[in-house]
């Protein structure tokens, strides 16, 4: 008789089996067997069931902290015992929902007396769209007084604002739409608000009293961060009037399609921006102007007012000026786009020397010349090829890669290059390249096949600083083993993790670290009253500086500057550090029992 093992079963059969098992039991039993099983569970099992009836508290805690964050978007059935209300919840996030789901939830919110973060939706940004009046919430809403962060995907009605009892406590707000003519009145209901993300829409009929001259003395001293998508009917004068009410604003981010033309005027911005503003980003797209003088438009943005603040503005044009984008960048920038629309930076018309450019974006076809010389380029962002072939690299591009100042490779999140292409680029690049920015999704594509082991070895030798872009996908505990092996020589890291145990594992394994930026859910940090003491008790660090900062709506960033390690630490040898990992410990026990 032939006995089949799970590892040898076809992928389709493993997925079929998953339909009959509880998702938490499924992951506890099989996740970590091998990389193939991990990949099937993470990427092919889309109908997961979770049953919390007859489950112990320890099992419940383990499932909520270790498993649910990985599978939340794929759960199709959730069974709870009776009329369960988790009154001690600190953070609640609802995804894949309907308005009726929210209506069921709203009457129970006031019972969550410890709730600090409420996020209804899995979005990271907002776009203007027509809102069905049936989607408005006119109900009487009572929110917990403890609430500090609220993300809400529907337009908040005037009555919703007026009847809510907890507006005084909210510090971070992410909502779909606010009318520009009632913005001041809206803000008065949130005196502690320091972060606001919303669509700023055209004036409309409202029960709120529009703020005119009599309210001009009101100042919102708490607001520090403002992220807006501005619709075309909002005038610059209306927006500038609001800016005068937020003197302590530090960060302003604006996106707009066909905005009022004054939004494109550098002098208007100079006259209205707060002296305290340190970070200013905008992305303005114009599709309706013909014969616009782009050079005259761009010139004022090159004055000392802008460059001295590190605000570099670029203008990209297409279709003979009928379409162009005006946007800020982190440094003087060249966009070299070969496909699909031949969009180029306005100033890039022939082979030109750019002595001040430090960042370049390279799209698609590296066999073509960039028609530029950038002797001081520090970073290059690569976009994926439209096929799997590794094409010949043009000598001009090779010169860019071998520039002595080049040190940082950035892999685009939306159109990433393959691991194989990265390896070939590293082989052609300057020896100074040691910084990599990529997404967690890209790392999964690297780890999922043994054919990439030589690429992992190359990264081990070359990369000393890794920046993982914040995405909804985070590395699993099992994947941290492959991660630590590949990036064992890291000196700096920026990463998002699920638990403090994972943070301790990485900090103890990556013994060359001098700096770490780790984002964790607030729920993981609520029981740690003294972070410094926790680091001393759970890591090999003895000489370090630590700082805690706000992350997302329900997360925080732990920043660590590391001076020295205690080589004779409580964990013992390097081998023991690895063996403390639960996946490794479990496999060792299986093999020796």
Helix (H) or strand (E) holding 381, with range, is strand 379-382
pLDDT above 90 for 184: no
On whether the 491-566 domain is CATH 3.10.100, my answer is: no
pLDDT of residue 491: 92
Q: Convert the pLDDT of each residue in 370-413 to its tens digit.
A: 777 888 888 888 887 545 556 678 888 888 899 999 999 999 88
Give me the pLDDT at residue 292, please.
Answer: 63
Q: Is 334 exposed, middle or buried (0-12, 13-18, 19+ CB in 10 A)?
A: buried
Rg (the chain; Cα; Å): 26
The residue that leads in pLDDT, 472 or 387, is 472
58 confidence band (pLDDT: 50, 70, 90): confident
DSSP 392: P
Higher pLDDT, 86 or 337: 86
| pLDDT tens column, 534-576 | 888 888 888 888 988 877 667 888 999 988 766 544 444 444 5
pLDDT given at position 191? 85
Q: Residues 67, 70, 73, CA angle at the centre, nearest 5°?
A: 120
Confidence of residue 347 (pLDDT cuts 50, 70, 90): very low
Sequence-distant (≥ 6) Cβ neighbours of residue 289 within 8 angstroms: 261, 321, 322
User: In the prediction, which pLDDT does 570 show?
Assistant: 43
pLDDT top residue among 25 and 166: 25
Residues 484 and 455 sit within 8 Å (Cβ to Cβ): no
Buried-state track 169-195, b at ≥16 Cβ within 10 A, e below 16? bbbbbbbbbbbbbbbbbbbbebeebbb
Cα angle at 40 between 37 and 45, to 5 degrees? 130
Between residues 310 and 125, the one the model is more confident about = 310
pLDDT at 431: 87
C-alpha 51, offset from chain centre: 30
pLDDT-based confidence at residue 593 (cuts at 50, 70, 90): very low
Q: Which of 573, 563, 552, 589 is nearest to 125 (CA)?
A: 552
Task: Report how far residue 40's alpha carbon sits from residue 31's, in angstroms, rounded to the nearest whole number.
Answer: 10
The DSSP H or E segment spanning 523 is helix 522-525
Task: Calculate ∠ Cα 396-399-404, nearest 5°.
Answer: 155
Closest to 156 in 3D by CA, of 166, 141, 171, 145: 141
Nearest 5°: phi and psi at 410?
-115, 125
Say whether 347 sits in a helix, a strand or coil.
coil
At residue 67 the predicted structure's pLDDT band, cuts being 50, 70 and 90, is confident
Confidence of residue 135 (pLDDT cuts 50, 70, 90): low
Distance (Å, whole) CA 21 – CA 18: 5
Q: Which residues pair with 333 in a beta bridge?
A: 359
Contact 313, 283 (CB under 8 A): no
Residue 128 pLDDT exceeds 70: no
Run of H or E residues at 149: strand 149-152
Mean pLDDT over 277-281 rounds to 89
Average pLDDT of the chain is 76
Q: Can you tell me the distance from the alpha carbon of 121 to that of 125, in angstroms, rounded to the nearest whole number?
A: 11
| Residues 138, 112: Cα–Cα separation, whole Å | 21
Range in 174-178, 203-207, 258-262, 297-301 with the lowest mean pLDDT: 203-207
Question: 478: helix, coil or strand?
Answer: coil
Give pLDDT, residue 156.
56
Dihedral of CA atoms 580, 585, 589, 592 in degrees, nearest 10, equals -80
Higher per-residue pLDDT: 484 or 136? 484
In degrees and rounded to multiples of 5, residue 183 shows phi and psi of -65, -40
Q: What residue segments make up the domains of the chain, in order of their start?
A: 491-566
Cα–Cα distance between 528 and 499 in angstroms, integer? 12
Task: Give me the pLDDT at residue 127, please.
Answer: 54
Q: What is the pLDDT of residues 140-161, one digit of tens each?
A: 567 788 888 888 766 555 555 5
Burial class (CB in 10 A: 0-12, 13-18, 19+), 593: exposed
For residues 541 and 552, give the distance between their C-alpha atoms in angstroms, rounded to a whole number: 27
Q: Is a pLDDT exceeding 60 seen at residue 268?
A: yes
- Report the alpha-carbon distance of residue 158 to residue 144 in Å, rounded: 19
Helices (H), 19-71: 23-30, 35-43, 57-62, 68-71
Residue 365: other Cβ atoms inside 10 A: 15
Within a 10 A sphere around the Cβ of 303, how many other Cβ atoms? 12
- 342-350 contacts, C-beta under 8 A, 24 or more apart: 342/318, 343/316, 343/317, 343/318, 344/316, 344/317, 345/314, 345/315, 345/316, 346/294, 346/295, 346/298, 346/314, 346/315, 346/316, 346/317, 348/372
Percent residues over pLDDT 90 in the chain:
12
Is the pLDDT at 364 greater than 80? The verdict is no
Contact 453/447 with Cβ under 8 angstroms?
no
Dihedral angle sign, alpha carbons of residues 96, 102, 108, 112: positive
C-alpha to C-alpha distance for 208 and 156, rounded to whole angstroms: 12
Nearest 5°: CA angle at 315, between 314 and 320?
160
**Which has the closest alpha carbon to 495: 555, 584, 455, 572?**
555
Please state the pTM of the whole predicted model: 0.58
Of the candidates 537, 536, 534, 541, the residue with the CA atom closest to the CA atom of residue 510: 541
């Amino acid at each position: 008789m032939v006995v089949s093992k799970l590892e040898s079963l076809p992928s389709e059969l493993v997925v079929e089996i998953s339909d009959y098992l509880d998702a938490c039991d499924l992951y506890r039993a099989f996740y970590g067997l091998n990389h193939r099983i991990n990949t099937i569970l993470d990427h092919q099992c889309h109908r997961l069931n979770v049953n919390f009836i007859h489950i112990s508290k320890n099992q419940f805690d383990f499932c909520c902290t270790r498993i649910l964050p990985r599978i939340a978007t794929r759960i199709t059935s959730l069974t709870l015992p009776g009329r369960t209300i988790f009154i001690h919840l600190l953070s609640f996030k609802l995804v894949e929902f309907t308005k009726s789901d929210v209506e069921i939830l709203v009457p129970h919110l006031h019972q969550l007396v410890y709730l600090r973060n409420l996020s209804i939706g899995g979005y990271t940004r907002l776009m203007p769209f027509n809102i069905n009046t049936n989607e408005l919430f006119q109900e009487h809403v009572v929110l917990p007084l403890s609430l500090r962060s609220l993300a809400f995907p529907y337009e908040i009605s005037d009555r919703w604002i007026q009847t809510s009892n907890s507006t005084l406590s909210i510090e971070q707000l992410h909502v779909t739409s606010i009318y520009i003519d009632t913005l001041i009145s809206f803000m008065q209901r949130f005196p502690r608000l320091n972060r606001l993300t919303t669509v700023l829409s055209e004036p409309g009929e409202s029960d709120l009293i529009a703020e005119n001259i009599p309210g001009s003395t009101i100042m919102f001293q708490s607001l520090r961060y403002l992220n807006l998508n501005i619709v075309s009917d909002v005038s610059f004068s209306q927006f500038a009037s609001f800016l005068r009410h937020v003197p302590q604003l530090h960060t302003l981010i604006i996106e707009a399609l066909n905005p009022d033309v004054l939004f494109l005027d550098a002098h208007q911005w100079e006259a209205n921006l707060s002296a305290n503003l340190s970070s200013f980003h905008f992305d303005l797209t114009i599709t309706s102007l013909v014969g616009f003088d782009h050079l005259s438009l761009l010139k004022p943005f090159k004055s000392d007012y802008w460059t001295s603040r590190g605000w570099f503005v670029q203008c990209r044009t297409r279709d003979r000026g009928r379409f162009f984008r005006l946007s800020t960048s982190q440094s003087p920038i060249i966009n070299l786009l070969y496909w699909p629309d031949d969009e180029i930076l306005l100033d890039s018309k022939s082979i030109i020397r750019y002595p001040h450019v430090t960042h370049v974006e390279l799209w698609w076809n590296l066999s073509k010349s960039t028609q530029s010389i950038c002797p001081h380029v520090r970073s290059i962002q690569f976009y994926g090829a439209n096929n799997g072939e590794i094409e010949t690299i043009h000598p001009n591009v090779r010169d860019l890669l071998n520039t002595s100042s080049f040190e940082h490779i950035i892999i685009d999140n939306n159109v990433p290059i393959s691991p194989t292409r990265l390896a070939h680029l590293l082989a052609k690049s300057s020896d100074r390249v040691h910084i990599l920015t990529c997404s967690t999704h890209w790392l999964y594509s690297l780890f999922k096949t043994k054919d990439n082991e030589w690429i992992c070895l190359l990264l081990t030798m070359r990369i000393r600083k890794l920046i993982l872009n914040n995405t909804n996908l985070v590395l699993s505990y099992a994947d941290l083993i492959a991660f630590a092996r590949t990036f064992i020589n890291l000196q700096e890291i920026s990463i998002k993790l699920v638990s403090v145990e994972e943070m301790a594992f990485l900090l103890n394994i990556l013994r060359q670290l001098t700096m770490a930026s780790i984002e964790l859910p607030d729920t993981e940090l609520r029981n740690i009253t003294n972070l410094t003491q926790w680091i001393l008790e759970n890591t090999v660090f003895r000489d370090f500086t630590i700082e805690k900062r706000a992350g997302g709506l329900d997360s925080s960033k732990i920043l660590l500057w590391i001076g020295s390690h205690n080589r004779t630490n409580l964990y013992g040898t390097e081998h023991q550090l690895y063996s403390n990992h639960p996946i490794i410990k479990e496999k060792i026990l299986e093999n020796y029992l």
